[in-house]
Structure 1
Amino acid sequence: MNKILSILKKREATLSIIILLLGIFVSIRVPSFFTYENICNVLKSYSVVGIFSLGVLLVIIGGGFDVSFSAIAQVSQYLVVWLLLKHIHGNLFIAFILAIAIGTLMGLFNGFLIDHYKMPAIIITISTQNLFYGILYVVSKGKLLYEVPSYIWPLSNTKIFAAAAENGSIYGLSTVTVLWFALSVLFAFILHKSVIGRSVYLVGGNALAAQRVGINVRKTILFVYGLSGAIAGVASIAHVSIIQTVIPNSIVGTEMSVIAAVVLGGASITGGKGSVLGTFLGVLLFAILSNSLTLLRISSYWYNVFTGAIILLSIAVNALQELAQARRKIRVKVD
């Protein structure tokens, strides 16, 4: 019984129950909600947010904060497509390599500034977000790239476990969704089964203590922000495969949804805490919530209200949990 209660106290269990209850409620109101076609469409529409969330989770666990990932993705996307159209005869693999390289360099720039100047990460990343995005808009003059290399399209158009609708259209699990799932498994392995993953948790929990036990804090910070930038690069290619157009301001502005999903999944803003499963469930809840509002014909403005409320509630719950843990530690020391 105690084991069951301890499981139910975990954020992942709470989110699973909320997702189940919300799904049942919407299915009763709108039977088309719980269909294979709608589920596939919902997962595809939130695959980019899901990929972004992995990078943000890594940064938050490491004790940092990042709002520049959207600008990194925007720059990577525009620059890669432009290079592939004008100067490089490539393929999907080369597109990913270029995007990852560009994203990693910008992420490392963030990590260097944060480590070198010892300033709050949120201040640095707000600054670099405006820097990256501003340079892109000045250089591109806001020009859209309507043409996208055709070899990028299959990333979102190819369907796995495909089925045919009554009107003859094909639906199924998009490969961009499979990419999100695969990266989630990879990140779970990195965070829980590798030395660098455990180092990220230790640095996020207490950087000074981590340094005393021999962990290179500087290298860990650079790793966190570099990998976060690389993930932003991957997400940029996933995004362009879905919309099949490059718009200089189409990604910037998604920061709140991504951060909210990560925090809702149990990641602590103070660092050292979070899980890939919790983040996945957080993204899934937001995806279902967005789809539910559409199906129930409720104004999309309510989505922003729910997002802000969920962030505040999640932060409050995390704060209460940390206070409870601190009190238990005090009691143990007194005893």
Structure 2
Amino acid sequence: MPDALSVAGAVPHASDGRAGLTRLRRRPEFWLLLVILIVGALFSALAPGFLSLPNVIDLLETYSVQAVMAMGLFVVLVAGGIDISFAATASVSQYCAALLASQMGLPAPLVILAGLLIGTALGCLNAALIFYLRITSIIATIAMMSVSFSLLMYFSGGRSIYTLPDWWTTRITFFQTETASGDLARITLPIVLMIVVALVTWAMMTRLSVGRQLYAMGGNAEAARRIGVPIARLHFVAYGYLGFTAALAGMLQAHRVGESVPNAFANTELAVLSAAVLGGASLTGGIGTVPGVLLGIVLLAMLQNGLNLLGVSSYFFQIVIGLTILVSTSVTVISSRRGRRLRGIGEASTHG
């Protein structure tokens, strides 16, 4: 009898394990991690030093700025919107903060606060245009991108600011080690801030009610409104948060390079967007995870760095980005059509 009980008890555990594995295989993060491992092994074989600790740390620091912006864009995508103006927001916030620091000599707390407020305000302006004027999000943000960037270039004359104060440009290292080859690997401020922003975004979207409301609004805005979800406020939360992270990324970039360049973020929108959708964030809203977006950033960073080490033209990487958005969008459309078809079959069988 005990043997029978043990066998009977083993069956659910086996089925639970298979069900868990099936659920894991359905998640985009699983396949993305698998692709990252394959790409890493391939480039490691073709380009010696690709997986060396200094190169990996350098990749993390280089793409930390895009990762910070991707966290904000992820929130907007989950909410069912899209924003193309975040790169311009980052540029405007960075340059205005640089002017306050270099020409007016304001202290660090005021400069940082001013830069973050400018970015948040520009994000909230997008939210107002989209919600109150009913302008389609992609149209409103493309217009804001054009206006913001053009005004920045007009008033700055395209001139960079090289006289940033020491508190802004001084390299901050939290951990440093020397490899056997004599190279230094450093954990610096951009990497730490990337991790902090990712954790804050993850906590907001998974542990707070505002995150659940953003997912609900992105999944079905009308249904969310009917159950009392504050749609207007959530628009300002999503786009304001993206403006905040864009401003933070802008000032972080100036810290990395030691100067403020008006067009430093030109043409970065598609790279950040492709990382988000590659990580599973749907362009139709309501879907996506922070780990998925981070994995998307890692994969794109590995592809670009590996192709550079192999001497492949940078234009090929742009092809990869375009194909990523095209394939991700196609999968989203096909999945939504299949879901509607299955719901239609279910409703027909219920009525029958």
Task: Provide the TM-score with structure 1 as the length reference.
Answer: 0.95
Which whole-Å CA distance do the structure 1 matches of 2:345 and 2:291 have between them?
31
Helix, strand or coil at the partner of 1:162: strand
Matches within 5 A, 1:219-298: 219-298=233-312
SS in 1 for 2:112: helix
In the alignment, what sits opposite 1:205?
219
The yes-or-no answer on 1:139 pairing with 2:155 is: yes
The corresponding residue for 1:188 is 202
Deviations 1:9-48 (A, max 9, x none): 1100010000001001111112301111010001111011
Q: Following the alignment from structure 2 to structure 1, what is the Cα–Cα distance between the partners of residues 343 and 189?
A: 47
* Mapped contact 2:126–2:141 kept (Cα < 8 A): yes
For residues 290 and 16 of structure 1, the distance between their equivalents in structure 2, rounded to whole angstroms, comes to: 17
Match of 1:113 in 2: 129
Deviation of 1:169 after TM superposition, in Å, equals: 5.6
Partner of 2:143: 127
What are the Cα deviations for residues 58-94 of structure 1, in whole angstroms up to 9, with x where unaligned?
1111111101001111000000011011224312x44
Are 1:202 and 1:272, in contact at CA under 8 Å, matched by a contact in 2?
yes
**Alignment equivalent of 1:171, drawn from 155, 166, 185:** 185
Contact 1:40 1:174 in 2 (8 A): no
Task: Quote the Cα distance in structure 2 between the aligned partners of 1:159 and 1:27.
Answer: 27
User: Counterpart in 1 of 2:13?
Assistant: none
2:5 corresponding residue in structure 1: none
- Which residue in the other structure is 2:333 paired with? 319
Q: Distance in 2 between matches of 1:319 and 1:228?
A: 25
Contact kept? 2:119, 2:243, Cα under 8 Å:
yes
Which residue is 2:95 aligned to? 78
Could you tell me which residue of structure 2 aligns to residue 149 of structure 1?
165
2:20 aligned with 1:6, yes or no?
A: no
Deviation at 1:170, TM superposition (A): 3.2
Number of residue-to-residue matches in the alignment: 332
Q: Partner of 1:134: helix, strand, or coil?
A: helix
Instruction: Report the secondary structure of 2:177's partner residue.
Output: strand
Instruction: Measure, in 2, the Cα distance between the counterparts of 1:159 and 1:89.
Output: 24
SS at match of 1:161: strand
Kept after mapping to 2: 8 A contact 1:55/1:228? yes
Q: Does the CA contact (< 8 Å) of 2:175 and 2:188 recur in 1?
A: no
- Residue 98 in structure 1 maps to residue 114 in structure 2: yes
Letter in 2 for 1:312: L
CA distance in 1 between counterparts of 2:277 and 2:290 reads 11
TM-score scaled by length of structure 2: 0.91
Letter in 1 for 2:332: N
Partner of 1:268, secondary structure, is coil
Q: Helix, strand or coil for the counterpart of 2:159?
A: coil
1:68 corresponds, among 85, 88, 94, to 85
Match for 2:151: what amino acid?
I
Q: Is the 8 A contact 1:266 1:318 kept in 2?
A: no
Aligned: 1:20 with 2:37: yes
- Of the structure 1 ranges 201-210 and 284-293, higher mean CA displacement relative to structure 2 is found in 201-210
Could you say which structure has the larger radius of gyration?
A: 2
- 8 Å contact kept, 2:54–2:184: no
Does the Cα contact within 8 Å between 1:159 and 1:171 map onto a contact in 2? no
Report the Cα offset of residue 167 of structure 1.
7.9
User: Alpha-carbon deviations, 1:133-169, whole Å to 9, x = none?
Assistant: 1111111111111121211224xx3333311257866
Residue 82 of structure 2 aligns to a residue whose secondary structure is coil
Could you tell me which amino acid in structure 2 is paired with residue 41 of structure 1? D
- CA-CA distance at 1:320 after TM superposition: 2.5
Percentage of identical aligned residues? 30
Quick one: distance in 1 between partners of 2:264 and 2:199?
28
SS at match of 1:32: coil
1:43 aligns with 2:60: yes
Gapped regions of structure 1 (runs ≥ 5): none
Counterpart Cα distance in 2 of 1:106 and 1:313: 31
SS of residue paired to 1:16: helix
2:314 alignment partner AA: S
